[in-house]
Amino acid sequence: MEKTNMNFRKKGLIGVISLAIILIGGFTMYQQLYKTASPTEPTEATSPATAFSHLSYYHEGNLERYNAYQEENQEMSVEDIVTHVNMGIDKEFYSEDPITVEDPDALTVLVNKVYAFPDNWEPTDLVVVDDFRGQSLRKEAAEAFQAFNAACNEQGFSIYVHSGYRSASFQQEIYDNMINTYGEEYTDKYISRPHQSEHQTGLSVDVSIDGMDYNDLASNPYYSWFYDHLADFGFILRYPENKEALTGYHYESWHIRYIGKEESRKVLDSGLTYDEYMARQ
C-alpha cells in the first residue's frame, strides 16, 4: 500500500515537474517571440526629427515639399527652404488656384500671387484720405498716413496718396485692359490679378512726394528721409529692390503698406520681405 502510494506520489511529482518545464519553456519562447515582434522605433505619436523640424515655422504637412525643394536647391539654407515652401514659391506663381486668406480684416493680412481675398470681401472702414484725388484707405492706415505727412511737412515736403484702395472690380478692369494691350505674361509681371492686389487691403499707398511722378520717387532728395521713417508710422516698403523672386513684383519705391507700428518695426528688424516674414510666423 505504502509502495503503491510512493509510486503514485513519484508519478505525481514527475508530472508537476514536467508541467513546470513545459510552462517555463513556453513562456521563454513566448518572451522571445514577443521581443522580436515588438517595435523598437518610436510610435506614431512622436514624429521623427528632420533636417527642418527644429525651426519654429516648420509645418509637418509640408515635409515632402521641403525635401523636394532642397533636392533642387542644394546650396540653400534650411531656413530659406522652409520659408520658401511655406510661402508657396516652390511652385511657379499662378500655377495653382490661389489660397483664400483666413482673416481678410486683419491689418497684417497678406495677399500676393499665392494668397487672395475671398470673392466678395471689401473693407468696411474706408475713409477718404485725399480729397483732391478722391483716394480712400482704411481708417487706421489713413490716420497713420496723415501723421506721417505731418512729420514730412516738418522736414519741408509733403506726401500724397497717388493711389490707395482699389476694389476687386476696379482691379479687374485694370487687369483686363492691360491683358488686351500687353498680353498675360507682361500683365502678370506688373499688375495684380483681381482679389490678389495689395491695393484691395485698403492699407496700401502708391505715394508721390510733392508734385513728383511716383515712378521717380526714389530720386527725390527727400526720399531717404521718407524711407528711413516708414516704420515709425507703421509702414513698410512692400516690394523692395532685388526681391522679385520672393515678392513676385519688381522694385516699387513708391508702394508702401500699413501693418501697424509694432509689426512694421519687427519686419524692418528681420531684414525680410513681408512675404518671408509672414511665412515664419
Q: Is 84 in the site for Zn ion (CB under 5 A)?
A: no
In the complex, the smallest distance separating the C-beta of residue 274 from Zn ion, rounded to whole angstroms, is 14
- Of 32-40, 121-129, 199-207, 221-229, which segment contacts Zn ion by CB under 5 A? 199-207
Contact present, 270 and 238 (Cβ < 8 Å): no
Q: Is 276 among the catalytic positions?
A: no
Least separation in angstroms between residue 206's CB and Zn ion is: 4
Q: How far apart are CA 197 and CA 167, in angstroms?
A: 9
- Site stretch for Zn ion (CB under 5 A), options 5-13, 81-89, 254-262, 269-277: 254-262
**Cβ neighbours of residue 247 closer than 8 Å, sequence gap 6 or more:** 112, 238, 239, 240, 273, 274, 275
249: Cβ contacts below 8 Å, ≥ 6 apart? 189, 190, 239
> Does 65 help bind Zn ion (rule: CB under 5 A)?
no
Using rule CB under 5 A, residue 166 touches Zn ion: no
Looking at beta carbons only, is 108 or 171 nearer to Zn ion?
171
Number of residues that bind Zn ion (CB under 5 A): 2
| Beta strands at 115-116 and 99-100: parallel, antiparallel or unpaired | parallel
Q: What's at 277, amino acid-wise?
A: Y
**What's the burial of 55, exposed, middle or buried (CB within 10 Å: 0-12/13-18/19+)?**
middle
CB of 221 to Zn ion, least distance (A): 22
Interface pick for Zn ion out of 188, 206, 263, 276 (rule CB under 5 A): 206
Among 253, 255, 263, 278, binds Zn ion (CB under 5 A): 255
130 binds Zn ion (CB under 5 A): no
Contacts 24+ apart (CB under 8 A), 266-269: 267/231, 267/236, 268/230, 268/231, 268/236
Q: Could you tell me the CA-to-CA distances from 281 to 56, 61, 108, 266 in Å, in that order?
A: 8, 16, 11, 12
Write down the H helix ranges in the chain. Answer: 2-37, 63-72, 78-87, 139-155, 168-182, 184-190, 223-228, 244-247, 261-270, 274-279
Binding mask 213-252 for Zn ion (x = CB under 5 A): ----------------------------------------
Q: Which stretch binds Zn ion (CB under 5 A): 10-18, 28-36, 54-62, 205-213?
A: 205-213
Interface mask (CB under 5 A) for Zn ion, residues 107-126, using x and -?
--------------------
Q: Which is nearer to Zn ion, 84 or 255 (CB)?
A: 255
- Nearest-CB residue for Zn ion: 255
Residues designated as active site: 252
Residues engaged in binding Zn ion (CB under 5 A) = 206, 255
